[in-house]
């Protein structure tokens, strides 16, 4: 049980750090969009790479906040059907949801890593900024791996409560 509690603390800390990095990406996207709009419409001088920078920031924001959302169990889901089911069916659905999350995040981690590795090997760069393409691609497996770990730790620790 100590290992599980230690795992929860590590996941909580990593999730917190990644959420702060995600907040920086969000702030960068908002600031860049605002500055670009002002420059475009008032001075007719837009930033040529602004759209790419905003897109990359949003990708970072979404993928890096996923572990925190998963750890807190605050992901978006529709519960209408679940509420209409008897308790045993709800429990089965909760376990199914838990297992599918582990499978999907494992898949995203493996495939995302392969894509990032390929882009690293080919030395591809983004069109406008010229950043190594593997950097934004690597955010997907990073976020997915920690989201899966968060879900794994969360599910394993709450069996006593009757839910994954």
Q: Where are the domains of the chain?
A: 2-161
- pLDDT score at 60: 95
Confirm if 86 and 163 have CB atoms less than 8 A apart.
no
Q: What is the pLDDT along the chain (164 residues), one digit of tens a residue?
A: 676 788 888 988 999 999 999 999 999 999 999 999 999 999 999 999 999 999 999 999 999 999 999 888 887 777 788 889 999 998 888 889 899 999 999 999 999 999 999 999 999 999 999 999 999 999 999 999 999 999 988 875 554 334 55
pLDDT at 47: 97
Predicted pLDDT of residue 4: 72
Does residue 155 contact residue 99 with C-beta atoms inside 8 Å?
Answer: no
What pLDDT does residue 141 have? 98
Return d(Cα 48, Cα 148) in angstroms, integer. 37
Tell me the pTM.
0.87
């Amino acid at each position: 049980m100590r290992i599980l509690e230690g795992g929860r603390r590590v996941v909580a800390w990593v999730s917190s750090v990644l959420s702060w990095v995600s907040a920086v990406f969000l702030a960068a996207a908002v600031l860049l969009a605002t500055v670009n709009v002002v420059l475009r419409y008032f001075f007719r001088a837009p930033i040529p790479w602004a759209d790419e920078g905003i897109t990359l920031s949003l990708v970072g924001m979404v993928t890096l906040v996923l572990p925190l959302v998963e750890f807190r169990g605050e992901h978006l889901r529709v519960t209408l059907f679940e509420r209409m089911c008897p308790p045993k069916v709800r429990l089965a659905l909760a376990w199914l949801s838990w297992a599918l999350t582990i499978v999907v995040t494992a898949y995203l981690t493996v495939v995302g890593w392969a894509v990032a590795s390929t882009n690293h090997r080919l030395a591809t760069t983004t069109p406008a900024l010229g950043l190594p393409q593997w950097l934004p691609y690597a955010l997907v497996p990073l976020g997915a791996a920690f989201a899966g770990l968060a879900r794994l730790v969360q599910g394993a620790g709450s069996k006593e409560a009757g839910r994954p």
